[in-house]
């Protein structure tokens, strides 16, 4: 895991806590969006927030409910997330 990946993971966690009011105790790299009770509409909203936060374009369906936070961080890092 790279430093950039870790930083993106922290940014995702921050957005989940501040914007989506997710309990920080439920957030871990292996937690899926489904386990956080995110449905497809919430994932679309999360995608829009992360696109703005990380200055990237995420393809439609890029974040899925079975994706873990760690996998999302790797995916967004690969897309060129700006920190």
Instruction: Name residue, tokens 């999360």.
Output: 46
- pLDDT value of residue 75: 97
- pLDDT of 60 strictly over 70: yes
In which band, very low, low, confident or very high, does the pLDDT at 72 lie, cut at 50, 70 and 90? very high
Which two tokens mark 17?
């806590």
* Average pLDDT rounded to a whole number, residues 14-41: 97
The helix/strand/coil state of 28 is coil
Three-state DSSP class for residue 8: helix
Per-residue CA distances from 69 to 10, 17, 34, 79 (Å) = 10, 13, 11, 15
Check residue 31 and give its pLDDT.
97
């Amino acid at each position: 895991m790279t430093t950039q990946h870790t930083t993106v993971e922290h940014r995702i966690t921050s957005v989940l806590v501040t914007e989506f009011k997710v309990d920080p105790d439920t957030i871990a790299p292996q937690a899926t969006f489904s386990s956080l009770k995110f449905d497809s509409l919430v994932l679309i909203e999360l995608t829009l927030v992360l696109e703005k936060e990380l200055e990237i374009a995420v393809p439609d369906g890029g974040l899925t409910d079975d994706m873990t936070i760690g996998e999302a961080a790797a995916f967004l890092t690969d897309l060129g997330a700006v920190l």
